[in-house]
């Protein structure tokens, strides 16, 4: 039985770090295990320009505790007013690694996102030319589309048309939650990849709703039926380099989750790597964990994999994490998988 794993240091290809006191509290949780992360730009106001990204990167680096190494890979929030020249300059300077597309209204702080996709055509064409990838929140926002169908509808109505209209644009379909998403990425050729979160490999929609509403399992895209969770697991452990980890760790204080209209987001930065070791072991695929967390992402983003390593150990007793992370803004509940996990990062 495997009780120790040494992997190249992993990266997180989709992470929410927030700002201020929340940033200071959650950043060490990611930096402890991950070398780099794609940093989501959905602050209030969002990170839209190169100047915004530079200032946010500086705030992240200033919040990093002495002795921790971590490279924030910055993204720009695509709006209908985004200037292609500003994006190209940010890429040329090495400041940004991707641009993020939120359909307007799809999720937390996405009001400034895109309504009319024709308005961003020029930016997308420029990105294809200069080799800057597009990260996509893949849900339509039309009120008449059922929330459980929004990802599948997005593929047909938005994602596929964008890709056909912009040959050469490299796209990451983020936090895939359906078999439809897995199938689209798997059959989509070298210019598309998909990220998978830890929590979507663990929960289905029953975890949110059966036996009482559990706000800490509510995130967007919302967890779907069990058949979809199984498709995500199969993709994660398949060894297919089109799939890699993006935790979408998205902290909200308990007061904003445990309320009449709770925010979407699961906070998994603290235990993501241990939970993944558990999942990959369950699937008999521990030998493929390194590809998923440390190799496939850099290959798609055309970055070198990390040279440093991380050690995971499996102990006899269950690993215990605190229930909450204290932040200056209030407590944040750490994702509870609902079963014992004996893996830990040593
Ligand atoms: C994210 C957040 O809180 O910023 N929430 C979430 O449920 N994942 C936004 C997002 O990535 O959709
Ligand atoms: Zn997210």
| Ligand 1 pocket mutation, candidates 19, 26, 151, 220, criterion most atoms within 8 A of CB | 220
Whether pLDDT at 1 is above 90: no
The rounded Å distance from CA 136 to ligand 2 centre is: 10
What is the per-residue burial (b if ≥16 Cβ within 10 Å, else e) of 91-105? beeebbbbbbbbbee
Whether pLDDT at 335 is above 90: yes
Whether pLDDT at 64 is above 90: yes
Separation of alpha carbons 345 and 343, rounded Å: 7
Q: What average pLDDT does the segment 199-204 reach?
A: 99
State if residue 16 touches ligand 1 by the CB under 6 angstroms criterion. yes
Give CA 168 to chain center in angstroms. 23
SS3 label, residue 178? coil
Q: Which atom of ligand 1 is nearest to the CA of 219?
A: 7
State if residue 257 touches ligand 1 by the CB under 6 angstroms criterion. no
Whether the Cβ atoms of residue 106 and residue 141 lie closer than 8 Å to each other: yes
pLDDT confidence tier of residue 109, bands split at 50, 70 and 90? confident
Q: Which atom of ligand 1 is nearest to the CA of 220?
A: 7
pLDDT confidence tier of residue 112, bands split at 50, 70 and 90? confident
State if residue 137 touches ligand 1 by the CB under 6 angstroms criterion. yes
Percent of the chain residues topping a pLDDT of 90 = 95
Whether pLDDT at 220 is above 90: yes
What rounded mean pLDDT belongs to the chain? 97
What pLDDT score was predicted for residue 105? 86
- Residue with CA closest to ligand 1 atom 6: 265
What pLDDT score was predicted for residue 128? 98
What pLDDT score was predicted for residue 106? 81
Whether the Cβ atoms of residue 35 and residue 293 lie closer than 8 Å to each other: no
Whether the Cβ atoms of residue 276 and residue 337 lie closer than 8 Å to each other: no
What pLDDT score was predicted for residue 38? 99
Instruction: Cite the active site residues.
Output: 248
What pLDDT score was predicted for residue 170? 98
Whether the Cβ atoms of residue 257 and residue 333 lie closer than 8 Å to each other: yes
Q: Which atom of ligand 1 is nearest to the CA of 264?
A: 7
Whether the Cβ atoms of residue 258 and residue 215 lie closer than 8 Å to each other: yes
Q: What interhelical angle do 179-186 and 226-237 show, nearest 10? A: 30
| Ligand 1 pocket mutation, candidates 264, 269, 329, 335, criterion most atoms within 8 A of CB | 264
pLDDT digits (tens, 9 = 90+) for 309-330: 999 999 999 999 999 999 999 9
Whether pLDDT at 332 is above 90: yes
Whether pLDDT at 258 is above 90: yes
Q: Which atom of ligand 1 is nearest to the CA of 110?
A: 9
Whether pLDDT at 194 is above 90: yes
What pLDDT score was predicted for residue 30? 98
What pLDDT score was predicted for residue 272? 99
Separation of alpha carbons 109 and 45, rounded Å: 8
pLDDT digits (tens, 9 = 90+) for 132-147: 999 999 999 999 999 9
Q: What average pLDDT does the segment 236-248 reach?
A: 98
What pLDDT score was predicted for residue 108? 78
Whether pLDDT at 110 is above 90: no
pLDDT digits (tens, 9 = 90+) for 32-55: 999 999 999 999 999 999 999 999
State if residue 220 touches ligand 1 by the CB under 6 angstroms criterion. yes
Phi, psi values for residue 67, rounded to 5°: 95, -15
Whether pLDDT at 207 is above 90: yes
- Residue with CA closest to ligand 1 atom 11: 248
Q: What average pLDDT does the segment 213-223 reach?
A: 98
Q: What average pLDDT does the segment 93-117 reach?
A: 91
Residue 263 token pair: 């925010």
State if residue 265 touches ligand 1 by the CB under 6 angstroms criterion. yes
Percent of the chain residues topping a pLDDT of 70 = 100
| Ligand 1 pocket mutation, candidates 196, 214, 248, criterion most atoms within 8 A of CB | 248
**Helix, strand, coil share (%) of the chain residues, nearest 5:** 40, 15, 45
What pLDDT score was predicted for residue 107? 79
What pLDDT score was predicted for residue 254? 98
- The reply to whether omega before 161 is within 30° of 0 (cis) is no
Task: Give Cβ neighbours of residue 118 (< 8 Å, ≥ 6 apart).
Answer: none
Complete domains list, the chain, with CATH: 4-345 (3.20.20.140)
State if residue 197 touches ligand 1 by the CB under 6 angstroms criterion. no
Whether the Cβ atoms of residue 200 and residue 175 lie closer than 8 Å to each other: yes
State if residue 291 touches ligand 1 by the CB under 6 angstroms criterion. no
Find, among 22, 16, 20, the residue nearest to 253 by Cα: 22
pTM of the model: 0.98
């Amino acid at each position: 039985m495997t009780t120790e794993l040494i992997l190249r240091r992993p990266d997180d290809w989709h992470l929410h770090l927030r700002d201020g006191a929340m940033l200071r509290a959650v950043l060490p949780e990611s930096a402890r295990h991950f070398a780099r992360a794609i940093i989501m730009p959905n602050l209030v106001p969002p990170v839209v320009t190169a100047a915004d990204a530079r200032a946010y990167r500086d705030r992240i680096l200033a919040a990093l505790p002495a002795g921790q190494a971590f490279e924030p890979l910055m993204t720009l929030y695509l709006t209908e007013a985004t200037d292609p020249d500003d994006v190209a300059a940010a890429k040329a300077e090495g400041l940004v690694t991707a641009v993020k597309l939120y359909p307007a209204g799809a999720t937390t702080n996405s009001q400034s996102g895109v309504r009319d996709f024709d308005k961003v055509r020029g930016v997308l064409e420029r990105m294809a030319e200069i080799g800057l990838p597009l990260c996509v929140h893949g849900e339509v926002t039309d009120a008449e589309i059922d929330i459980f169908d929004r990802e599948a509808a997005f593929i047909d109505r938005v994602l596929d048309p964008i890709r056909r209209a912009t040959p050469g644009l490299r796209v990451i379909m983020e936090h895939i939650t359906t078999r439809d998403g897995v199938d689209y990425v798997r059959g989509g050729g070298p210019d598309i990849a998909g990220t998978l979160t830890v929590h979507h490999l663990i929960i289905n929609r029953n975890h949110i709703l059966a036996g009482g509403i559990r706000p800490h399992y509510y995130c967007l895209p919302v967890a779907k039926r069990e058949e979809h969770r199984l498709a995500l697991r199969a993709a994660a452990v398949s060894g297919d380099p089109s799939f890699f980890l993006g935790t979408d760790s998205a902290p909200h204080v308990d007061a904003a989750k445990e309320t009449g209209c709770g925010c979407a987001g699961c906070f998994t930065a603290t235990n993501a790597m241990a939970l993944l070791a558990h999942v990959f072991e369950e699937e008999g695929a521990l030998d493929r964990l390194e590809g998923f967390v440390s190799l496939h992402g850099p290959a798609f983003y055309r970055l070198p994999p990390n040279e440093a390593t991380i050690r995971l150990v499996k102990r006899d007793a269950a690993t215990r994490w605190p229930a909450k992370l204290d932040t200056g803004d209030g407590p944040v509940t750490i994702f509870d998988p609902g079963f014992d996990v004996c893996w830990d990062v040593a």
